[in-house]
Amino acid sequence: MTLKCIAGIEKPDSGEIAFDGKIFFSSKKKINLPSKERHTGYLFQNYALFPNMTVKENIAAGIRGTKIEKARLAEEKIKIFRLEGLEKKYPCQISGGQQQRVALARIFASEPEILMLDEPFSALDSYLKWTLEQEIAEVLQNFKGPSFFVSHNRDEAYRICNRMAVISNGKIDVLDDKHEIFENPKKLSAAMLTGCKNISAAKKISDFEVFAIDWGMSFKCAKKISENISHIGIRGKYFETCSDLSDENAFEYEICQKIEDAFSVILMIKPKETYPAKLIRCEVCNKKWAEIKNGKKYFKINPQKIFLLEG
Amino acid sequence: MDISPLLISLKVSFIAVIIVFFAGIFAAWKVSKISRFKGLADGIFTLPMIMPPTVAGFFLLLIFGKNGFVGRFLSFFNISLVFTFSAAVISSAVAAFPLMYRTSRGTFEQLDRNLIYAARTLGMSEIEIFLKIVLPNSSAGIVAGIILSFARALGEFGSTIMFAGNIPGKTTTVSIAVYSAVQSGDRENAYRWVLIMLVISFLSITLMNYFEKHKMKFIKKPFGGDEKWGFTLILRKTWEIFALKFHLKRKKKHLESSVLQEAEKA
C-alpha cells in the first residue's frame, strides 16, 4: 500500500510524499502528481507484463523517444538482462524467471529514479525463488537510486536489504540497520518479526532485574532496564545447559514436550514445579540433546542475550 | 421475391454497428474511469436496452422531428431525417448501443488493473494506455459486443417503424417485412423472412460462442506465424472476402458487357 502511494497508483487520504525535493503528493497543498511524472519503477507481484506484446515490445513500452532510439535501448536492455532469443516471444510463452527479467528490463528501460519491489517472490517455488533472489540482489546493487523491497519473509529481506523498517498496523515501528534489528531489537514487533519465539510480558523489579510474568520467573539483565519495558524476549537458541544453579540466570527445568526437527530438537520447557501461562521454547542441536539426556537438569541464559522490548 | 429488405437490413445494421463500435467503446472507457455520477451515466447509456422500442422511437421522433431541437437545426440545411434510410440507421444504432457499451465496459473492468498501473508508472499517457493495452487485451469482449449489437441492430423493429416508417425499397427492413407480410396475409413471404432471420440470428450466436470459447487462445496465442493478434486478423480476412466478392462482381459485369458487345456486333 505504501509503495502504491509512492508510485501514485493509490491516493492517500492525507499526508505528504516528497522525493528529492519534488513533492509527489500533499493533501494540504492539493498536489497529486500523476504516476507518469513520478518516474518510479514498480515491480508487481505478478509482473504485469502486457500479454498482447512481445518481450521486445514490452521493454520498449516504457521508452520515450524515436523508433530507432526505442529499438536501440530495448536491444541494450535485452542484452543486459540476458533475454536474447526471446525477443519475439509472448509473456505466456516464457518461464516465470524470464518473465521477471522482462519486467525488470522494462522498468530499467524507463529509467526510474526510485525502484520498488512488491513481494516479487511470493508466488514462486523455493528453487526458482533462490535463483531470482540472487538476480534481484545483483540488479539492486547496480541501481543508483533508492530502492524499496517489501516482503513477509525475514530471511529474504535480511539477505537483500541494508536497512529495514518494521511496519505494523500501517505505521513504521522500527527503522534501523538490519544487523541492529536482528541482534538487538528494541520493539516487540521487531522481535516478533525477526523470529524470536519466546516472548513474555515483563515487569521491572530493579535496574538490572526483570520479572517475566508469563513464565513466572525473574531474569538478570546486562543493560539498565528502562521504565517503559513491557516485554522480554529470548531466542530459543540462546539457552545453554549447565550443571548447577550457581551460574547467572540458571534454572531447573522440566520438559513438557519434545519435537524433533530435521537437524535439532525443539523442547517445550517450564521451570520445575511451577505452572506458567506459557511454555518456553528451546532449540538444542543433536549434540546438546545427548547431554540433556545424560542428566543435565539446568538451563541458563546469558544476561546479554535477553531482549528488553517496548510495546 | 424482392430481396431489398435483406439488403436494407444488412446495410442498416452494418452502418449502425460501425457507429456503435466507436460510440460504445468511447462511452465505456469514459464511464469506467469517472468516479462521480457513474451510476447515472451507466443508467442513461443502458436505458435504450430496457425501454420499450416504441418509446425509444417516440423520443427519436421528438428529437429529430420538425419541432425537435436536432430536427430544427437540420432543417436549416434542408435535411429531414424522419422516414429516411438514415432514420433506420439511427434507430438501430440507439437500440444496439447499450449492448456494445455494456460488453466492452465489462471487459475493460475485468482487465488486470496492474497492467494499467504498470503502464502508468512506465510513463505511458492515458490515450496510449487505452489504445495499446486496454483495447488489444479486451479484443474478445469487443468482438462479442460487435456480434451482439449487430444481431440487435438487425432485429430492430419498434423504433424503426416509428421513426423510419415502412417505405418499401427504402426503409423496409426484414423485421418490418415480416410484419407487413403477416398484416397483408402473405404467409409464404412471412415464412421466408422468418427463416432468413432465424438463420442469421443462429449464426451470430454460434459465432459469439466460438469467441467465448476461444477467448484465452484468442488473446494470448496468435494464429501461427507472425500474426499480431486474432482481432486484426479477423478484420483483415473479412476485408479480403469483401474485396474478393467485389472483384468477382466487377469481373462478372465486365464479362457480361463484353458478351453483350459481341452479341451486338454479331
Could you read off the pLDDT of A89-146 as tens digits, one per residue?
A: 899 888 888 888 899 899 989 888 899 988 888 767 777 788 888 888 888 888 888 8
Q: Is A268 on the interface with B (CB under 8 A)?
A: no
List of domains in chain A:
2-183 (3.40.50.300), 196-309 (no CATH)
Could you read off the pLDDT of A136-146 as tens digits, one per residue?
A: 888 888 888 88
> What average pLDDT does range A49-61 have in this prediction?
90
Q: Is the pLDDT of residue B250 over 60?
A: yes
- What was the pLDDT predicted at B140? 81
- Please return the burial class of A40, using the count of CB atoms within 10 Å of its CB with bins 0-12, 13-18 and 19+: buried
CA distance A114 to A19: 9
Q: Is A38 on the interface with B (CB under 8 A)?
A: yes
Residue recorded with cell 412471412? B190
- What was the pLDDT predicted at B232? 61
CA distance A161 to B84: 72
- What was the pLDDT predicted at B28? 93
Residue predicted with more confidence, A35 or B55? B55
- What was the pLDDT predicted at B21? 95
Across the interface, whether the CB atoms of B220 and A92 are under 8 A apart is answered yes
- Please return the burial class of B258, using the count of CB atoms within 10 Å of its CB with bins 0-12, 13-18 and 19+: exposed
A221 contact partners, CB below 8 Å, separation of at least 6:
A208, A209, A210, A303, A306, A308
Q: How far is A90 from chain B (nearest CA, A)?
A: 8
Of A36, A41, A90, the CB nearest to B120: A36
Q: How confident is the model at residue B116 (pLDDT cuts 50, 70, 90)?
A: very high
Whether A77 and A109 have beta carbons less than 8 Å apart is answered as: yes
Q: Is the pLDDT of residue B236 over 80?
A: no
> What average pLDDT does range B139-154 have in this prediction?
89
CA distance B56 to B231: 32
Q: Is A287 on the interface with B (CB under 8 A)?
A: no
Which strand (E) or helix (H) includes residue A271?
Answer: strand A264-271
Q: Is B138 on the interface with A (CB under 8 A)?
A: no
CA distance B228 to B136: 10
- What was the pLDDT predicted at B264? 84
- Of A98-102, A261-265, B25-29, B93-97, which range is least confident? A261-265
Reduced to 3 states (helix: H, G, I; strand: E, B; else coil), residue A239 is strand
Of A35, A51, A90, the CB nearest to B137: A51
State the DSSP code for A117.
Answer: E
Residue predicted with more confidence, B163 or A272? B163
**Percent of residues, chain B, with pLDDT higher than 90:** 47
- Of A74-88, A157-171, B201-215, which range is least confident? B201-215
Whether B165 and B172 have beta carbons less than 8 Å apart is answered as: no
Q: What is the sign of the dihedral through the CA atoms of A180, A184, A189 and A194? A: positive
Q: Is the pLDDT of residue B241 over 90?
A: no
Q: Is the pLDDT of residue A176 over 60?
A: yes
CATH topology of domain B4-221: MetI-like fold (1.10.3720)
- What was the pLDDT predicted at B215? 57
Q: Is the pLDDT of residue B227 over 50?
A: no
Across the interface, whether the CB atoms of A44 and B114 are under 8 A apart is answered yes
Neighbour order of strands in the sheet with A31-32: A16-19, A22-26, A31-32
Q: How far is A258 from chain B (nearest CA, A)?
A: 47
CA distance A277 to B218: 61
B1 contact partners, CB below 8 Å, separation of at least 6:
B189, B192
Q: Is the pLDDT of residue A15 over 90?
A: no
Q: Which residues of A touch B122 (CB under 8 A)?
A: 36, 61-62, 106-107, 110
- What was the pLDDT predicted at B222? 40
Q: Is A160 on the interface with B (CB under 8 A)?
A: no
Amino acid present at B108: F
**pTM assigned to the model:** 0.72
Cell of residue A105, nine digits: 528490463
Q: Is the pLDDT of residue A41 over 50?
A: yes
Whether A198 and A262 have beta carbons less than 8 Å apart is answered as: no
Q: Is B227 on the interface with A (CB under 8 A)?
A: no
Q: Is the pLDDT of residue B194 over 90?
A: yes
Mean pLDDT of chain A: 85
Q: Is the pLDDT of residue B223 over 60?
A: no
Domain extent listing, chain B: 4-221, 225-266
- What was the pLDDT predicted at B100? 95
CA distance A202 to A191: 14
Q: How, if at all, do strands A298-301 and A217-220 pair?
A: unpaired
- What was the pLDDT predicted at B16? 96
Q: How confident is the model at residue B224 (pLDDT cuts 50, 70, 90)?
A: very low
- What was the pLDDT predicted at A118? 87
Q: Is B131 on the interface with A (CB under 8 A)?
A: no
Q: How, if at all, do strands A22-26 and A147-150 pair?
A: unpaired
| Integer Rg of chain B from CA | 22
Q: How many CB atoms lie within 10 A of CB A59?
A: 30
> What average pLDDT does range A48-56 have in this prediction?
90
Q: Is the pLDDT of residue B132 over 60?
A: yes
**Which backbone phi and psi does A211 adopt, to 5 degrees?**
-105, 125
Across the interface, whether the CB atoms of A62 and B219 are under 8 A apart is answered no
CA distance B169 to A136: 70
Q: Is the pLDDT of residue A193 over 50?
A: yes
Reduced to 3 states (helix: H, G, I; strand: E, B; else coil), residue A111 is coil
Could you read off the pLDDT of A3-14 as tens digits, one per residue?
A: 888 888 888 888
